[in-house]
Structure formats: structure tokens, C-alpha cells
Amino acid sequence: MQYCNKDRLQDKITTFSQFGATAGGGITRLSLSQAALDARAEFCSRCKKLGMEVKTDDMGNIYATVKGTEDLPAISMGSHLDSVVKGGNYDGVLGVLTALETAETIVTDGIKTRHPITVIVWTNEEGARFDPAMMSSGVITGKFDRDAMLAVKDKEGMTFGEALKASGYLGDVKNRLNPNAQKAYLELHIEQGPVLEAEHLEIGILEGVVGMVNYEIHTAGQADHAGTTPMKMRRDALHAAAELICDLYDKLSKIDDELVFTMGRITALPNVHTVIPDDVRFTLDARHKDPAVVQQVVEVIKNLPTELEKCAVSYKELWSRKTVKFYDSFVDIVEKNVNGLGYTGKRMYSGPGHDAQYVADVLPTTMIFVPSVDGHSHCEEEKTPIDDCVRGANVLLNTVLDIDKL
Amino acid sequence: MQYCNKDRLQDKITTFSQFGATAGGGITRLSLSQAALDARAEFCSRCKKLGMEVKTDDMGNIYATVKGTEDLPAISMGSHLDSVVKGGNYDGVLGVLTALETAETIVTDGIKTRHPITVIVWTNEEGARFDPAMMSSGVITGKFDRDAMLAVKDKEGMTFGEALKASGYLGDVKNRLNPNAQKAYLELHIEQGPVLEAEHLEIGILEGVVGMVNYEIHTAGQADHAGTTPMKMRRDALHAAAELICDLYDKLSKIDDELVFTMGRITALPNVHTVIPDDVRFTLDARHKDPAVVQQVVEVIKNLPTELEKCAVSYKELWSRKTVKFYDSFVDIVEKNVNGLGYTGKRMYSGPGHDAQYVADVLPTTMIFVPSVDGHSHCEEEKTPIDDCVRGANVLLNTVLDIDKL
């Protein structure tokens, strides 16, 4: 087995945590902001010092490559450097830094690989400044229209296209990740959930990204005065919504133990304590790796009553995502390396989305998870202990080297 | 029986609907705004033309008096001219205009009353510009501290005291409604509810104002990622809140048919579709004329679980109001006049609060309701047909004249 360097990885983490540092110990590093450009500059500088060739494509995605000994397709790995507002020092950036550490180990330890080894930084994964998330991996894998994405504006009215041009990272379309010239894509990421920690496991061996559906459910009643309207004459949209929420909890809980579902957002109008609500909307997010289970959720939604407590009930799908399955033989290699390195781990699916799920459509792809302390992510408290980070980097390194032999 | 003049009352309603008129056919006439001052000027001008003596007190309440033939305490009646934002042409103002029409009928028909007849305009009943509602009737009946009320600021930072001084309606404390020099207070108001209309009744014979309690109920859980947190590890504050809402509906529905209760406001944090809510708050407003019934609501709240779905449950009382009972013999007189005029009506309690509920603490008081089309109030659609307004005015006039004989 080969091993990455703990001190070197710690230095990377510490250095990158300065770019957009917040008072609370996290970062605010919105895509293409000055903080993100500082992080990109540091990344490019370190890659060039290692003798890597750095290119950017027409979405600002960065590709830093260590040459291989043969004329073969590249093995790529990476993640993103942007964060949400008051995010942490691990989501995304750890995938970039473990990939960089993997490349650095290969270079400095004089390991010769047959294939080129490329570290990728994806532009605007979070979508926190420019919606949607996973914008640039989405464009180059055909999910989103580039022109539409260039026109997306941030809160100040600046378009993604303007920000990209001003950043200096606008590159050539021909530099895009080319599936014909790529052998593999690997992405390490923090779990962003509590499972590995709760089960005292060190590595998540990803099999895919769960499918999901997301609905907005709407109850429409009549806004009347709280003090004058007899109960029998009421059409209380919050009463109807509360019954639906309880009923959905009951029904969805029975479908499958691994189904996760969340009613995360609720708004009531007019939202005044002395007025009966006439308009309540809440969201339902449901995720499972098995499309048949997700379909059962869809059936529950389709069978919602159209009227409840004299209120009209309706719903609309906000979006959905099919389950993404990662490349079986790569998953096997990750598992073999977890065992070979003496780590504990388990096969699992990702609940959140990642650039890897888009890349998986065009390339053999898999992912590696490391634990999140208390399951926190997208917050300043986000934390993965350095030993977990190193274990992840070691799995990534050995997986790259194994794939290099294929 | 004596009768008010329909054309004259319609002219009053039409004229006053101009002050603060909105594009949607309603009014925005916040307390002491220019629109409210225009309405006050019109009111004073009309009173003076009728030979009434006009005074204001130290809260800007206006008292316009027709002299009586004997040195006796006054019979007063009135309501308010201020409205909420985008309110209607009947809430409050109809009580002032029917009182004015009653006085005008007495003057122009040459009816001699033994007691002085006073029409009162209360300052800032709605509390829409300066919180709380019923501010000035509250101050002069000892509910609120005057200095504290003078210091209340509107959204622009102007205090009530500054607005009152600038209005020209700041009068002498000695002009306040003096219980020792008052025989009665009567207030006509729109029902603001659907009951009279639904039961095809013309007049509401008020017996009092229902008691109420108002709580905020809070569930506290843990905000975690919707895609990564297994159901068994969740502490979902919205799940707990929805169960509480349903459970409160069940329990409170069984207490009494006339109990009205409303969960009108709900907020969830962080209120993001992909995050489990950790903080949900909703209000409960419950009203009933019988304090023993209200107490049963209090007991239900006191017996809320302290934990539900692994979330902490707590509550706080936002405020409460004891049931106000109006003066029995006046209620009887109103009922006698409804019958004597050949109108249909029923005894009922007010759900909303009115200046009369404060005055009732210091003076024999009662109220008269007229129907609200579709039960609407506090909106531009607020409507009471002119024939209903005239019927209300006639009941008010004859009730004043009956009390004058006592």
C-alpha cells in the first residue's frame, strides 16, 4: 500500500481554511468570489510547483494533470472549493485537497503511473451564489444549457458569465473533461451525515447517490377572523396541512427503513395569530437508493386527498433525481483498499448530490466518504478529524494506483 | 319608535369613505395620519353644524355633545375612525356615523332628551400604527399607562405623543370620559364574522366580549441534513408541531361547541426544504364567553407533553383577556327595540375586542352588531348593506331614547 503524508495534508487544510475565513471558524467562499479566487490561485500555484499542467475549460473548471508514462486516458479526481455562506472547512475542499495530496504523493514519492492523473476543481458546486448547484459539472455533462447558466445572476445582479470572465479562469471549451480521454473519475467527500460516526466506521464506500423526489404540497382554505368564525364554518388550511403532515409521516414511515423524508419548509398565510390561515404550503423531500421505493412515495403523493377539512389540497413536483449507481468494479477496488489499509468501512449511498453524480453519466465513477463529526455540514462547525482525512486520502491514492493497473 | 334617515346615513358613509380611500375600494386610515385627521375634521365640522359642543381629552379622544334638558349624566356612544392598512369602510367608522346620525336625528327632529347625548371618537383603536389596540380607551379606563403609550413609536420612529401633539387634537385631561358624569356607553359595530348573515339575522344583541387566551407553543429539535440523517436519528420539530396541532384540534374540539380556537401563525427554522426543522413555533388563540370553558383550554395547554418525537415542547402565554359582560338592563333594552322595530336578531358575544370592553369596566355599557357580508373585516371587501346600517342606527337611536327615560 502507498500512504499520503499527514502533515502535508494538514498544511493544505489549514492553508485553505484561510480563504474566506469567518469569525466562527468556518468559511464563506461563494463561487468566483475573491475568497474563492484566492483558493484557486493557491491550488494552481501548488499544482504548478509539482510540475502539473493546469488548464481551465469554458465553465472555469480547473484540470491539473501529472503526466503518465503511457499515452492513455486520464484518471481524474476532485471536488469543489466554493462553500455556502458560513460553511465549513471540509465540504468540497477536502475532496480537492486529498486529490492534490494524492497527486503530490505520486510526484514526490516518484510513483510512476501509466495514466495521466488529473485533479479537477469544479466551478460553483454549491449554487449558493449562482443557482443551480453542480452548475459546471452539469453543463459539461449535458445537464444544463451553458448560455442559460452564464445568464444566472447573483443577488447583486452580476451574471455567472460576468463573474467567470472577470475571474481569469474562463478557458477553452476543448479543455472540458472528455469522456473519450478519461478512464475514471473519483471524488472524496465528507459524509455530511451522522451514520459513519454513529457506527464507528472510518470510510464510506459509495455505491451511488440516492434518487429523490421533492414536492410542494398546498392547502387552500379561507382566511377569517379567529374570534368570530364558528368552528363549523371554518376552512382552516393549517389544520388540513397538519393532518397531511402527520398522515404523510405515518404512511411514509411504513415504506422502508432506509427511506428518508423531510418536510423542511412550511409557510402559512396570512400568518397572523388572529386570522385563520387560508394558504399553507410545505415541502416534502424523500430519498432512497431503490427507485421502486421512491415510486411508492410518488404513489402516496398521487393518492393525497383533493380535499381535507374543507380545504383544497394540491401538490406539484419541484424536482426529482433518479438514483445514480457508481461503477461496480471501482466500488470493489475502494472496498478492497479500505480492507487492505486496515480501515473500517461500509457500503452506502450518498443522500446529498455531488458533481460525481453528473460525471457518473459519462465516465466510470465512484466516491469515498469520510466521517462528519456530529453529522454537521454547511455550517462553521463542520469537522472531520485529520486522521479520518488521511485515511480517506490513502484510500483515494491506492484506488487511483489500482485503477492505473487496469 | 323613532327613525334615522337612510339618505343622510348613506351620505355620511360615502363622505367618510373618501378619507384614505384605496384603489381597491377600502381605506387606509392609520391613527392620526392625514387621512384620519381629515375624517376627524369632517366629524367635528358636522357636529358643530348641529350645535354640538366638541371637546378632546389628553389622548385625543373626541367628545361631541348635544345638551340635555336636565342637569344629568351623559349618554355616550361612539367608536373609532382609524383603520388597518387596506381596511374597509365600516369597521369602527360605522359606529361613529350611526352615533352621529342618532345625534343628528335627535337635533333635527327636535327630540328633547333629559340627558346630554355625547358622540365619542376613540383615538387609535386598531393599534395598526401605534401598538396596542384600543390604546386611548385603555388609558382613560386605567388599562394602560399614558406615558408609556405616548412613547410608543410607529414604523417611521414617530411617537404617539408626537403624532398626537402635531394633530391638534391633544386636549385636557379633565375632558376625559368621567364615569361619575356618564349614564351609559353604547357602541355599534360590524360583526366582523359570518354568524348574523348565515342565520339571516339583522341585529346582534351583544351580551359581552368573550374571554380569550393566546399562547405560543414551541417545539425544539435538531437541524440536520434531509438526505443523510436516518429517520431514527432525527429530532424533527415540525413533526412534533404537526402532531401537537392535530392533537390540540382533537382535544379543544371536544370542550364546547361555542369555543373558537385558531392556530394562525406558524414559523419553522431554518425553513429550508433540505434541512430538518429544529425550531417551530405556532400560536393558539382560544375564545369563549364562559371563563370555565377558557380554563379548560388552559388546562389542555398546561398538560401538553414536555417532549414529543424527541423534541422539547414548551409554551408561553402571549396574553389573555377575561370575559367582559355588558350591562344587563341595556342588553334587554336593545333586544326590546330590535323586536319593537320588527327586526330579527339574536343575543351573542363579541369575539374581537372593542373600546366598549374597556368602558364596560367603568360604566354601564352595551353593544349592537350589524351583519358583515361574507363575514369579512379588516379588508377592502368589508361591507354592510345600507339597510342593515340603518336598522342598526334605529336600534341605537331608540336605545338611547329609552335609556334617557331611566
- The predicted complex's ipTM stands at 0.87
Same domain flag for B239 and B108: no
Number of Cβ within a 10 Å radius of residue A11: 13
What does pTM read for this prediction?
0.87
Chain B: give the shortest CA distance to residue A351, in Å: 4
Higher pLDDT, A224 or A344: A344
Q: Which residue of B has its CA nearest to A230?
A: B260
| Domain assignment present for A390 | yes
The 3-state secondary structure of B51-79 reads CCEEEECCCCCEEEEECCCCCCCEEEEEE
Structural domain tally of chain A?
A: 2
B231 in A contact zone (CB under 8 Å): yes
Tell me what pLDDT residue B359 has: 98
Structural domain includes residue B356: yes
Residues of chain A neighbouring B191 (CB-CB closer than 8 A): 228
Same domain, A394 and A274: no
Query: What percent of chain A stands above pLDDT 70?
Result: 100
Picking from A321, A342, A373, the residue at the C-terminal end of a domain is: A321
* Residue A255 and residue A189 share a domain: no
Neighbour count for residue A344 (Cβ, 10 Å): 13
Cα of A259 to nearest chain B Cα, Å: 8
- pLDDT by residue (tens digit) across B172-216? 999 999 999 999 999 999 999 999 999 999 999 999 999 999 999
The pLDDT tens digits for B38-85 are 999 999 999 999 999 999 999 999 999 999 999 999 999 999 999 999
Question: What digits encode the pLDDT tens for the residues A274-328?
Answer: 899 999 999 999 999 999 999 999 999 999 999 999 999 999 999 899 999 999 9
In this prediction, residues B134-150 reach a mean pLDDT of 97
- Most B-contacting residue of A236, A262, A310 (CB-CB within 10 A), to test interface: A262
Q: Report the mean per-residue pLDDT for chain A.
A: 97
The verdict on A315 and A350 lying in the same domain is no
Same domain membership, residue A202 and residue A229: no
Whether omega before B132 lies within 30 degrees of 0, making that bond cis, reads: yes
- Residue A77 lies inside a defined structural domain of this protein: yes
CA atoms of A115 and B158, how far apart (whole Å)? 73
- Give the model confidence (pLDDT) of A99-112 as tens digits: 999 999 999 999 99
Same domain, A169 and A229: no
Q: What are phi and psi of B209, to 5 degrees?
A: -120, 130
- Does A286 reside within a domain? yes
A264: domain CATH number is 3.30.70.360
Chain A interface mutation, best of B209, B219, B228, highest count of A Cβ atoms under 10 Å:
B228
Q: Does B373 reach chain A within 8 Å, measured CB to CB?
A: no
Contact by Cβ (8 Å): A345, A205:
yes
Identify whether A1 is part of a domain: no
In this prediction, residue B128 carries a pLDDT of: 92
Q: Tell me, yes or no, whether B339 and B380 share the same domain.
A: yes
Q: Are B190 and B163 contained in the same domain?
A: yes
| Average pLDDT of span A163-184 | 97
The whole-number pLDDT of residue B32 equals 98
Judge whether B37 lies within some domain.
Answer: yes
Residue A205 and residue A346 in one domain: yes
- Residue A294's pLDDT is 97
Question: What's the pLDDT tens digit per position in B239-284?
Answer: 999 999 999 999 999 999 999 999 999 999 999 888 999 999 999 9
Residue B63, in any domain of the structure: yes
Q: Tell me which chain B residues have a C-beta less than 8 angstroms from the C-beta of A198.
A: 233
B125 with B32, same domain? yes
Q: How far apart are the C-alpha atoms of A296 and B210, rounded to whole Å?
A: 48
Q: Are residues B198 and B219 in the same domain?
A: no
Q: Residue A225 is nearest to which of B230, B233, B377, comparing CB atoms?
A: B377
- For residues B123 and B102, membership in a common domain is answered with yes
Counting residues of chain B whose pLDDT is more than 90, the rounded percentage is 97
Average pLDDT value for chain B: 97
Q: Do A225 and B283 touch (CB under 8 A)?
A: no
Helix (H), strand (E) at residue A191: none
Of B265, B297, B321, which residue sits at a domain end?
Answer: B321
Residue A90 banded pLDDT, cuts 50, 70, 90: very high
CATH number at residue B79: 3.40.630.10
Taking Cα atoms as reference points, which of B147, B163, B192, B166 lies closest to residue B384?
B192
- Tell me what pLDDT residue B2 has: 97
DSSP per position, A20-58: TB-TTSSB---TTSHHHHHHHHHHHHHHHHTT-EEEE-T
Domain's final residue, options B298, B321, B344: B321
Nearest to A272 among B193, B265, B276 (CB): B265
* Domain assignment of residue B293, given as a range: 211-321
With respect to residue B273, please indicate whether it lies within any of the assigned structural domains. yes
pLDDT at A336: 98
| CB-CB contact of B350 with B196 (8 Å) | no
